[in-house]
Structure 1
Amino acid sequence: MKYKLLVLDLDGTLTNSQKEITPFTKEVLIKV
């Protein structure tokens, strides 16, 4: 499998308080 993108959450803003990626955040990452 080839990876197209590696995303690192260095400042803790990618996930919510339950350590989940929200649907909105996921959609934004797909568009990037």
Structure 2
Amino acid sequence: MVDDLMSICPHCGFLLGVFIPGMPCPMCGETLL
């Protein structure tokens, strides 16, 4: 189950504490979901 208040990078698994889909991942540059 995906938490709607979090954004996660599908490439490296980086988890952002806020929901900002479309933001580039600070770890690998992929788009966060």
Give the TM-score category using the shorter length: under 0.3
Hey, which of these two has a bigger chunk of strand by percent? 2
Query: Relative contact order, CA 8 A, sep 6+: which one is greater?
Result: 2
Hey, which of these two has a bigger chunk of helix by percent? 1
TM-score by length of 2: 0.22
For the pair shown, the structure with the greater C-alpha radius of gyration is 1
TM-score by length of 1: 0.22
